Amino acid sequence: MEVPICVLEKVLCMSVGDTVSWTGKYVFYLDAEQDFVQLAKEFRKKVLNQTDVTCEDGKIQKDSANFTFNFKGLQNKIKIERSSANDYDEIVLKYSSSTSYRDSKKQVENFQKIIKKLSAASPQQIDLSKFRDSQGLKERLSVTISMRKYNPFYRLTLRHFDGDEGILKWNMVLTEDDLKVEIKKHMLRATSSNEEKIIDVLKNYIALSTVG
């Protein structure tokens, strides 16, 4: 029997609450001549130019930077790393937080802001096609959502399982162009080079207390 995702269950999750671990990753490429330390300083400056944002901790090194920002009471840990190839650098931003289900939705806006601030701080993004060893490399984003009690779903109907099939040993994969959404028990991971598709997943996933 096919069971549609129910709005009532969504409201239940928001009312009862659950802890959501939220991890984002943004990968892009820069000219190797760009100064990483200056990039990190400019990024921090642009983030702190926003209202209601404070930096609780920060450390900038030659090839990495770590920050803890507070967005209106929501704490977010951010790590930026650089790895160098021949004539270009790979920049990886990692964004993590642990919040309630309700507040995890607010992290969507925060994640978008962080990406925009880092992009604005690093204007010299390059065309990788001219580099021989860069085949398959491209700007990309991924977000992983992990929940303690509930199960995150996106654009899916659920099937009722009987007996041993109901143990929830399942793995679902949804693909749409270059968007890939992988769903396991208590976890959802979305990957794409298209920011809008990632944001759509983050805005529209819902949490269910049971499956089956």
Calculate mean pLDDT across residues 40-57: 91
Instruction: Provide the percentage of residues in the chain whose pLDDT is more than 90.
Output: 30
12: its two tokens:
């239940």
pLDDT score of 11: 45
Q: For tokens 């303690």, what's the residue?
A: 148
pTM: 0.79
166: its two tokens:
């109901």
Cβ-Cβ contacts under 8 Å for 20 (sequence gap 6 or more): 98, 99, 100, 101, 103, 104, 145, 146, 147
pLDDT tens, position by position, 106-117: 788 888 889 999
Rounded distance, CA 100 to CA 207, Å?
A: 12
Rounded distance, CA 105 to CA 118, Å?
A: 21
Specify the number of domains making up the chain: 1
pLDDT tens, position by position, 5-43: 444 444 444 434 678 888 999 998 887 778 899 999 999
pLDDT score of 17: 63
Query: Distance of CA 52 to CAs 71, 100, 114, Å?
Result: 6, 20, 14
- Helical residues (DSSP H) of the chain, grouped into ranges: 7-16, 36-48, 101-121, 195-204
Higher pLDDT, 77 or 5: 77
DSSP 8-state assignment for residue 91: E
- Reply yes or no on whether the pLDDT at 147 is more than 90: no
Rounded distance, CA 210 to CA 47, Å?
A: 39
pLDDT-based confidence at residue 166 (cuts at 50, 70, 90): very low
Structural domain that includes position 104:
2-208
pLDDT tens, position by position, 125-145: 776 666 655 555 678 899 998
Answer for the pair 52, 113: CB distance below 8 angstroms, yes or no: no
Higher pLDDT, 157 or 120: 120
Rounded distance, CA 212 to CA 91, Å?
A: 42
